[in-house]
Structure 1
Amino acid sequence: MNNITVERYRIIELLSGSLGTRSYLGEDTCESSGERYVVKQFLPPSKDPKLLKISYNVLETEVEPLENLSKQDDRIHTLISFFEENKNFYLVRKYITGNPLNKEILPGQTLNSEQVINLLLEVLEILLLIHSRGIIHRNIKPANIIRRSDGKIVLTDFGAPQEAVSNVVGSSEYMPIEQIYTNPQFNSDIYALGIIAIEALTGLAASQITAQKNQKNAAVEKIIWHPRRYKINPNLVKIIDKMVHLNYQNRYQSAKEVLNDLKVIGQAQLNPVSQQLKQQLSKNPKLTLGIGSLVLLSGIGLFFFLPRNLNYAAQLYKQGIGYYEKAEYKSAIQKFSQAISINPEYSSAYNSRGDAYYRLGDYEKSQQDSSAAIRNNPKDANAYYDRAFSLYFTGEFNGAIIDYNQAIKLNPEFANAYYGRGLARYEIKENRNAIADLNQAIAINPKFAPAYLQRGIINRETAEKLEAIKDFDKAIKINPKYAEAYYERGKTYDTLNQKNAAKKDFTKVIELDSKYIEAYIARADVYDDLGYPKQAYEDYEKAIEMNTDNAKAYIHRGLYRFKMKDIAGAMENYDQAIKLDSTQPTAYNNRGNAHLELGNLKQAMEDYSKAIELNPEYAQAYYNRGLLRTDLAKVPEAIEDFQAAADIFLETGEKDNYNDALSRIKELTP
């Protein structure tokens, strides 16, 4: 992990990650001060060098006014560096020692009206300053409002520099409609701050709040958020309602207007007991001693009640585990949230809640909880492991690898972490390193069936098919009911042209899991190859019957119909597959073949090219396009396609196809 460097910044650990963006903790290799930095990586929407240059120029323009403003007021945190490396953009700022508001504002936990008023006053003072300089923040959310260690609020991660280099900006729950439609106003920031205030007062998540728009009368353009059970100052409710009005023209027009209204109720919000004590103190100064005793007694009360609260939090956590083990994940989350509201530093509760969110497919919340667990217990290897898997399932493979590295550093015998890192390395085509990780996982746990399965898949894809069979055999020996292992072994037998063995494995999969659609499709393909058209058709029909939205089933049935010379039927199936999933390169390639059969050369060329666009490693699509270009006498382009196909066939170990592509090139070469 410590060897990963971008520009001059050595990456220490992953702080957070989501689709298209990652934030790392780093240090400057050119400094010896030990200063920490946040290095934020963006995947730009285009890799075109001209567009990258334009983005960089726009970034320079956007950063300058923020730099000037941050020099005048340390509550505005801006970039200290930005650069482009390997066609990714990086924005660097100093790491702020403190806590973001998403550690103060927690789901299921509420702040009182006075606390929220004070928070709004602090943030609005900063917004007043930046708005006066013509700058809209555009990315107001709890994670970007940090309470520094000295107690001051700091605004960070302004939206404009991010917009310059990426199409990922902010979080939609905090964005008003005009900003979503790229027309941000100064009061767009006020709207976002209002949503944060509602979160703090109600304990609801932002997504829950923005979903509570008035459904009865859309013309009202309001968010209904304050049921009677919340004890909230009614004057504060009115102010927040105006802050979050859906029509920006009916919202507060400036931070100054909100500040003025808040200051009025802020004066009236003084605690009545405090006012009474102040009056008594002014009349009898000797009461000071009594007040000190009262404070001391309050501390003693906390001392006696705190353990009981922590015990209750532990009971709630235990109840949550019970729900989790019964796969009742929503109920588990509720119990873990209650435990966290009592003990905001309950690392295990964050970890378990993150696991429950992961099971529900909410990978972003799972990442957030794993990050909270890590903050509360930086030596929790399992928290790094959990966050890594959430990153993996959102496609953030490099970020996942960094977290797996940390988990392994903390626990060198963590077999699951090696396995997870192997999966991530496989996704970024580091097959040798992936195999090494899976070997290590198996060495630690010789009965780790999924590790054998994944190693078998990699062995098959790197032309080590007999080794792959051995791995699948081992996985099945460990777990005789491992349907996926039978399925992958069947696929491998199929590539070895052992059709009957493949059919036997696919049939076993269906016996173990009658809803395994891919097994029906694979067995149908084998039936077709073995000359059993009736059985093949029945399996294709079964797959489509189980899921009429399965594009893969239509693709395979289309291929079957094509072989049966039912070109119109095949075309219909390919069209349906593309309608269901327009990102399937196989559907375009196969439809190209059907168009070619019907003499539609232009449409065939378009489909082959689309297949290659979707999958630049699609050897068969290059080969087919090469054949078509040969027929069209486009010899240089045909040679180029056959060469691309040959290179890929060689890499994947398809020797016969590789030699065929070379012979095509030889025929076309003078």
Structure 2
Amino acid sequence: MRPLRSLTEDPLTYTDTFEVEDSGIEQHSQPQLRVMKVLKWIDDPKMVELLERESIILQTIDHPGVPKSYKDDYFTVKINNNGLTMHCLVMQRFEGENLAHWIKTYEKISQNTALNWLSQLVNILDLVHRNEYFHRDIKPDNIIHQPDGKIALVDFGGAREISRTFLAKLSTNGGTSTGTSMGYEITAVRSAYYSPLEQIHGQAVPQSDFYALGRTFVHLVTGISLNKIKSDEKTGKLLWRDKALHIDKLLADLIDDLIAPFPGQRPQNTQIILQRLQRLPLQSKIQRITRSKTFRISGIVVSLSLGFLVFLKIILPGIANGFVSEGEKLEIANDFPRAQNIFNFARMIHPPARFSISKFYLEQASRHINNLQLAKKYYELAIKYNERDVGAYNSLAIVCRQMREVNCAINSYQKILQFKADWEGYYRLGSFYDDEGKEELAQKQYEIAIKLNKNAVVAINNLSRLKNLEKDYEQAAKLALEGLSKTKEPKTQATLYKNLGWARLMQKNYSEAEKYLEKAIDLDNERIDAVCLLSQAQEALDKIEETKLWWEVCMIAKSNIPEVYIWRQQLVDKFINNFKSPR
């Protein structure tokens, strides 16, 4: 019917968007006005993957605030005789206007509106995150205010699976340094002023959505563009509160927590945010009452009763927070014994103060991450005050691995499993054992991970590799085929084809081995382990010229994979033996 945005070339967008009339939708008896995205970069497989993923997400997430799309809504059209294909995705169209337009018309929003909209959006994100996705592009342009006051979140083109990205973050160099880390490529989706630093660097996590959400609400409650709001030169904190004096301190505190610079400083999941939002109206009411003239001049009995309540609910926490602040100053000044005494006293008079202390130590660890010994100390202190913080245990495990402190890393991973026994925890522990050369222990952890999640492709792949190493080639091939049936991600497929080709090579099925190893290299030309294996397969097939080429690549290409070193040594031994043999 019409384009929904300018069709001029914009390097930051990979789709054009149109309003269309869909007369063939089975779910409605009448033709429907809907939205169609058309991929502009038709020759880019990564962009095709993003559009396909958006289609799957919109079919998966069933929420009135998320556009609905059905299986047949993703389709392709041949546009000429040169084999070019146009990729299209049709989805539900929401009536109303996006908040970028809304704010220009109505200016900044009230406290009540902010609470209402924030609650709606966090409830949408709660379902998105529980479906193991995160959005990665929350901003006013992608939030629709409908005529009935309901809020919708649109444009899931940048969304990604939580588990895949989280595992990619654990890879030390973004590649396959040991053959156990999958080295997923992480597409960096960026929107100016709304994307956190870790997302700009291509390392988005679920908490990145909270940062974008918080920055969106700074814009909404101030009515001012983010590029016009200054930041504190020392802390980097956005200085917005004086431009939104109608917003209560408690809501402002929540927004500031959402836009904290480091993911570990933000609320760790949507449920924590929802709980805080539910408590906000009552807490704000108590705060207003205690500051009112009526409260100050009320009767002695009422004053004493309310005073005791306020002391327990407000004043005592305030006193504890004061001690926490004093302890933080002493810690920064390296007066460690006094800081610990004050922190312990704050926790004694108000136990929840321990969460603030733990958060402080997490911040210190992030700031000193280049000093591994100091970072380790701060992570251990953060855990001391919040013993159930899974994120702190995981960070401590990573630091201990870098320091080669094996027992520390193992204890940290086991603590994670004690509090959250999910497949990712078992995979992480298996990956650690794998890196340490403890293959039997690694296999057990991978097997548990797969039992808990049959679609844990990273665990399936790593177990397939270990089966090859222990010469159980039949099982290695079976696992690789199982993994290939569960993923379309090219680099993941490359590792699985490598393991499958490896198994077929050892089973002396050289033609199949050659086919699978060539597929691995086509999908990921940095898989040097596949190159070394391919040279062996082609030697067995008596393809001498091809063999020499792949031998050379295997010998000189950069790789830290343990098997590559073994195969290189075998090649060197072969050359030496051939040289010594009589001619």
> Normalising by the residue count of structure 2, what TM-score does the alignment of the two structures yield?
0.42
Larger radius of gyration between Structure 1 and Structure 2: 1
Which one has the bigger helix percentage? 1
> Normalising by the residue count of structure 1, what TM-score does the alignment of the two structures yield?
0.37
